[in-house]
Amino acid sequence: MTGTEAQHQLIDQIVIAWNSHDFENLVPLYHPDFQGIDTGQGRVYHGYDGLREMYEGYLQSFPDLIFTKDACIVEGEQIALVWSAVGTQRGTILHIPPTGRQVLLKGVTIIHAYAGKIRTASYLWDVAGLLRGLGLLPDL
């Protein structure tokens, strides 16, 4: 298997793990020194504790959250994952109480893989789309 094939396989495993709603499925795919930058939330997450906090926070807000890989571009250890996610808001996110509304989000995650694991990830997602989906921002 080439490096590019291995990186695509890692991304497929990540999507499956996130969609499993079981944190233990994520751990083997992330480096212990993981750093995640969530631009939508204005947060940086460190290590497995940070990964767990991020993961559980999103699942608390959207218990039925499901991700889809829309595209994946690999250049060495750098990966750009274009994704969509759908979920029903059942918990607070960005200080917004539950609305019960289903939203479709779009985003891009820029990943640096090291030794076959995700070492850093920058999560860039459509906050305005979230707000529109929750009925808090009018269609433009």
Calculate Rg over the CA atoms of the chain: 15
Q: What is the pLDDT of residue 111?
A: 98
- Domain containing residue 119: 3-133
Task: Decide: helix, strand or coil at residue 50.
Answer: helix
Q: Is 72 part of a structural domain of the chain? A: yes
Decide if 140 is inside a domain.
no
Q: What is the pLDDT of residue 135?
A: 96
Q: What is the pLDDT of residue 2?
A: 73
Mean pLDDT, residues 4-17: 95
Give yes or no for residue 139 having a pLDDT over 90: no
Q: What is the C-alpha end-to-end distance of the chain, expressed in Å?
A: 46
**Span of 92-96, 101-105, 135-139 with lowest mean pLDDT:** 135-139
Assess if residue 31 is contained within a domain. Answer: yes
Average pLDDT of span 93-115: 97
Which has the closest alpha carbon to 58: 34, 91, 82? 91
Domain membership flag for residue 139: no
On whether residue 126 sits in a domain, the answer given is yes
Instruction: Specify if 110 maps to a domain.
Output: yes
Domains identified in the chain, total number: 1
Indicate which CATH number applies to the domain containing 31: 3.10.450.50
Task: Specify if 138 maps to a domain.
Answer: no
In a domain, 63, yes or no: yes
pTM metric for this prediction: 0.93
- Degrees (nearest 5) of the Cα angle 124, 61, 13? 55
- Identify the pLDDT of residue 4: 87
The per-residue pLDDT for 1 is 66
